[in-house]
Amino acid sequence: MTTPFYGPDFDALEQFDPEIAGVLVSELARIRSGLQLIASENMSSPAVIAALGSTLTNKYAEGYPGRRYYGGCSEVDKAETLAIERCKALFDADHANVQPHSGASANQAVYGAFMQPGDTILSMALPMGGHLTHGTKVSFSGKWFNAVSYGVERESENIDYAEVERLAKEHRPKVILAGGSAIPRLIDFEFFRNLADEVGAIFWVDAAHFIGLVAGKAIPSPVPYADVVSFTTHKVLRGPRAGAIVCKEEHAKTIDKAVFPMMQGGPQMHSIAAKAVNFKECATPEYADYAKQVIANARQLATSLGEHGIRPTTGGTDTHLSLHDLQGIGVTGAEAEQRADAAGIVLNKNAIPFDPAKPNIASGIRVGSPSVTTQGMGTDEMKVIADLIHTAITQGDGDPEHPVAKQVRAGVSELVERFPAYPR
């Protein structure tokens, strides 16, 4: 069948640029041959990838649908309008901006909308589970704004709500931010909303990690509580690598102006079309089942790793990820990452709360279930994966030729043959 549009032509690429064509092929082989447990990754659908690999990449469309600074925008206007309407419906939001190129770009726009250089933001510290763009000194967010950080309680390893309240009342921040990249538990949005009202702050949720679970109605939504919610579209959500923002109607104009023209120029229309496809996928019953299974799988993985002495911080998870303390088994995060990788299991080292190790070594690992759940694996497979991780990181040495790495890779192969990524 001939495609009715000018789509990806792999033969032409292979002929013109065999080196890059080779990378595309070997990356797919890498994905297919291993277990992808990076909590922030997923496997977007062929429909999403088709939209990404389209001629929409060519169009300049600075502005918004119906209000562009270029001619010829009639068709991309349709794509962006669909993306906006589907995003609003999916999250029951007053307003959506689907132009941010990434999560960091979306966050930059939120700062631009609500803060002036030197203003104070109250956010979670990166080593406690926060994010680079939440005020770390190496990021624009920490260089241009005054970031006051909260952490977690030592005992429960959950957000220290008493500390959040104390710091909010002491510093009177312009913005209070909830969310991060290594928070296994649900966040009490109502607490943050009430506190923001009490101190006169904007309440912002960076929902990048868990927004896919919200889309699938598997966990409570921050949208009714927050002034503004930023997120990425490629994690549990399973869309293109990009960002988006939803907000209350009263902030709509401010957010739109902060995304364009304050922080970005031309929107990436191929990516916006792919977001529209993704939002449509997320509104299906199949996606809701997927989101619930992501949590069931993450819980099983956390429990089974815990039974091997690989302690889940906070005692488990309510979401798609768990964070594990390796100190009890005498392995560092860096060693675990390398040993797992050598055995075909891709995960990342991660600081745990109050980590005594440096960030590039770390005492923990973060594991996530979005990708393996997309492949169709369930809780039985999570038990097997936990066994494989335990064997790889306690008996391997990081050398792919080590007999233990080979033995674990055989177990991985058995799983991925039954549950292939991008089945042929």
Catalytic residue check, 241: yes
Task: Report in angstroms how near the CB of residue 241 gets to ligand DSN at its nearest.
Answer: 11
Choose between 103 and 184: whose C-beta lies nearer to ligand DSN: 103
Q: Name the minimum Å distance from CB 234 to ligand DSN.
A: 10
The question of whether 206 is a catalytic residue gets the answer yes
The residues facing 176 across adjacent strands are 122, 203
Residue of 241, 248, 292, 406 marked active site: 241
- To the nearest whole angstrom, how small is the minimum distance from the Cβ of residue 379 to ligand DSN? 24
| Shortest CB 265 distance to ligand DSN, Å | 22
Q: How far apart are the first and last CA of the chain?
A: 18
Strands (DSSP E) along 175-218, which ranges? 175-178, 202-206
- Catalytic, 235? Answer yes
Angle 43-226-313 (CA atoms, 0-180°, nearest 5)?
55
Q: Does the annotation count 137 as an active-site position? A: no
> Least distance from C-beta 350 to ligand DSN, angstroms?
9
CA–CA distance, 272 with 52 (Å, rounded to integer):
9
Owner of token pair 């679970």: 213
DSSP 114-141: H--TT-EEEEE-GGGT--GGGT-TTSHH
Q: How far is the CB of 181 from ligand DSN (least distance, A)?
A: 3
Contact residues for 364 (Cβ-Cβ < 8 A; gap 6+): 313, 323, 324, 325, 326, 333, 349, 350, 351, 352, 355
Q: Is 60 one of the annotated active-site residues of the chain?
A: yes
Q: Is 280 exposed, middle or buried (0-12, 13-18, 19+ CB in 10 A)?
A: middle
Parallel, antiparallel or unpaired: strands 228-232 and 202-206 = parallel
Query: Is residue 88 annotated as a catalytic residue, yes or no?
Result: no
Binding-site residue set for (6S)-5,6,7,8-tetrahydrofolate: 126, 130-132, 249
80, 157, 160, 206: which is the annotated catalytic residue? 206
Chain residues that interact with ligand DSN, rule: CB under 6 A:
40, 103, 131, 181
By C-beta, is 130 or 173 nearer to ligand DSN? 130
Nearer to ligand DSN, 40 or 221 (CB): 40
Distance CA(159)–CA(177), nearest Å, equals 12
Residue positions in the annotated binding site?
126, 130-132, 249
The catalytically annotated residue of 62, 94, 165, 188 is: 62
Considering the complex, what minimum distance in angstroms separates the CB of residue 386 from ligand DSN?
21
The 10 Å Cβ neighbour count of residue 247 is 25
68, 86, 174, 235: the catalytic one is: 235
CB burial string 356-385: b at 16+ within 10 A, e below: ebeeeebbbbbbbbbbbbbbebeeebbbbb
> What is residue 351's DSSP assignment?
P
Query: 149 has which bridge partners?
Result: 123
Q: Which residue number, 365 or 404, has a Cβ lying nearer to ligand DSN? A: 365
Give the chain's count of helices (H) and strands (E): 16, 15
Q: Distance between CA atoms of 327 and 272, rounded to whole angstroms?
A: 43
Tell me which residue has tokens 């990404």.
52
Dihedral (CA of 317, 322, 323, 328) sign: positive
Q: Which residue, 105 or 297, is less far from ligand DSN as judged by CB?
A: 105
Residue 59 or 349: which CB sits closer to ligand DSN?
349
Q: Which residues are catalytic?
A: 60, 62, 206, 232, 235, 241
